[in-house]
Every structure is written in C-alpha cells, then in structure tokens.
Structure 1
C-alpha cells in the first residue's frame, strides 16, 4: 500500500530540487536541452529510487 502523504512530501522535495537545478542551469547559461533533461531526470530518478527503497510504503501499524 502507498502512503499518499509520503508520496506528496517526497515529490515536493524532488520538485524543489528540480526547480533548484533549473535556477542553477540558468545561472550557468546552459544549453536548452539541459533545462528539459535535468529536472525530468531528478524527478523520475528520485521517484524510482525512493520507491525502490520503500520510502513510499505504509508501515504495518499505519
């Protein structure tokens, strides 16, 4: 079972990291491709990693 609260909080953290990467890329005057690849990579890679580590699963007593 998936905990909705943990998923929302986890994705908010990942979204903040993605927006931070966009700001960093803008400061570095990066190529337009990086503005697509980096945030999507952070969001999808972070979500897959968090799910595989079991961070989004409910505990037995919840």
Structure 2
C-alpha cells in the first residue's frame, strides 16, 4: 500500500510499509492530498500503443 505522507516542495513523500520515497508531485493527480492511498497499475494497452508509435517512427527513419 502506498500512502501520501506529506508534500515537500515539488515532491510527495510516499510511505510504503516502513520505507519512504519521494515522487514528483506532477506524477500524481492534482487532487491528491496527504493521507490518500495510491496504487500503481500497468497499462498494457498504452504500452502497445506506444510500441506501435515507436515502430512507425523507426520505419519512417529507415525508409
């Protein structure tokens, strides 16, 4: 479980069990606030879209 502990400047201090780390505040929704629980997901569809876009750019580069 990831919990927003506090904000320090442009960073959110995130608690994960007994560990903490900083995450740029811009990586969070604008409505995020102290005490919110956040989750990380893997967006396989977005990954495929990005892969297709990169493949197309590479194809254009080597035409």
Which of the pair has the greater relative contact order for Cα pairs under 8 Å at 6+ separation? 1
Name the structure with the higher strand share.
2
Q: Which has the larger radius of gyration?
A: 2
TM-score, normalised relative to structure 2: 0.30
TM-score, normalised relative to structure 1: 0.30
